Amino acid sequence: MRFSDILGQEKPLNIINAYMEKSCFSGGYIFSGPEGIGKKTVAKIIAQKLNCTSSDKPCGTCSSCLKTEKLQHPDLHIIESDAAQIKIEDIRSLQREANFRPYEGVIKVFIIDEAHRLNPEAANSLLKILEEPPKDSLIILITHKPQNIFKTILSRCKVIRFSPLAISVLEDVLVKDYSLDRFCAHFISFYAEGRLGFALKLKDSGIFEEKNRVFDSFALSDKPLDRNLLGHNKEQLRSFLNIMASWFRDIYLLKAGIADKQLIHLDRKNDLLKLKLEFSFKQLDGILSAISESMFYLEHNVNSKLLLHNLGAQLWKV
Ligand SMILES: [Zn+2]
């Protein structure tokens, strides 16, 4: 991959290119922005560019590029963990490696994914490295929660911000490059909030059909909520609640007179137009609050049966 393959990130890429042209891309950086928009991919391309042995960097074919691509380059280190915290042991290994000269390339690249998970000891240890970054080393912290990064770390890094794509741009990409139906692309672009990586995961997940199933079974039905149809695990319930919220959000905004292209469920516009006559703003406020409350309880592990019972009572009393 090359920078030109990364869509919609011209601003951060221009900044990065400027650093690279001046050969001053070393020390600590924070790539911040929502998940699924290419921050880590860009960090890997940087590693490839910096250590590529060809004149046209990254060539993608030299031994260094191939090793970086497979994450097997001895001068590329990625710290990522499923654990809740990044611990001091992880940073100690970074420190040890950073003190060595590059093995094969010209620079050692360290990528710390989900850097907001650094625990205080690990952050302190990293801070010491950032205060006097070893020569020939680049440390890139990736985060979608920059507010949770320790201020001392922030002050030692250059922050580069990445943004999601505009919804209409992502929609066009999904239609042209991934042959999605226009309505499906429209829905997924909204649902993914402009995040290409997330949209690509969603497009094969059946979410478009699922959201219509939810709509037909619940929003258009006057029967009580059948919890057996929802699934019982947290992920399924979260998805159900998100879909419900997006339906009622559309009805609300349609009543307020928004343009068609702002509807998430543009494919069901006719149904939404019918429903908008059935609900008052007050009722919709109540429903959206009930869904939002259910999401809160779901995240706090309230019993799912109870949660759905309460939500059903709220939704169908209006
Ligand atoms: Zn190369």
pTM of the shown model: 0.81
Write the Ramachandran bin of 69: left for phi over 0, alpha for psi from -120 to 50, otherwise beta. Answer: alpha
Residue that is last in its domain, among 161, 187, 216: 161
Q: Among candidates 159, 187, 190, 199, which has minimal Cα distance to 37?
A: 199
State in Å: Cα 311 to ligand 1 middle. 56
Tell whether 65 and 148 lie within a shared domain.
yes
- CATH code of the domain containing 72: 3.40.50.300
Q: If you measure from the C-alpha of residue 45 to the centroid of ligand 1, how many angstroms do you get, rounded to a whole number?
A: 10
Say whether both 94 and 150 belong to one domain: yes
What pLDDT does 306 receive?
74
Residue 229 forms part of a structural domain: yes
Q: Is residue 198 part of a domain?
A: no
Asked whether residue 136 falls in the same domain as residue 281, the answer is no
pLDDT computed for residue 220 by the predictor: 66
Instruction: For residue 71, report the distance from its CA to the centre of ligand 1, in Å.
Output: 14
In a domain, 276, yes or no: yes
Structural domain boundaries enclosing 245: 206-317
The tens digit of pLDDT for each residue in 88-138 reads: 999 998 999 988 999 999 999 999 999 999 999 999 999 999 999 888 999
Which phi and psi angles does 79 have, rounded to 5°? -100, 110
Tokens of 224: 């009580």
**CA 302 to ligand 1 center in whole angstroms:** 52
* Widest pairwise Cα distance in the chain: 69
Number of domains in the chain: 2
Indicate whether 167 belongs to any domain: no
Whether residue 7 sits in one domain with residue 136: yes
Cα of 58 vs centre of ligand 1, distance in Å, is 5
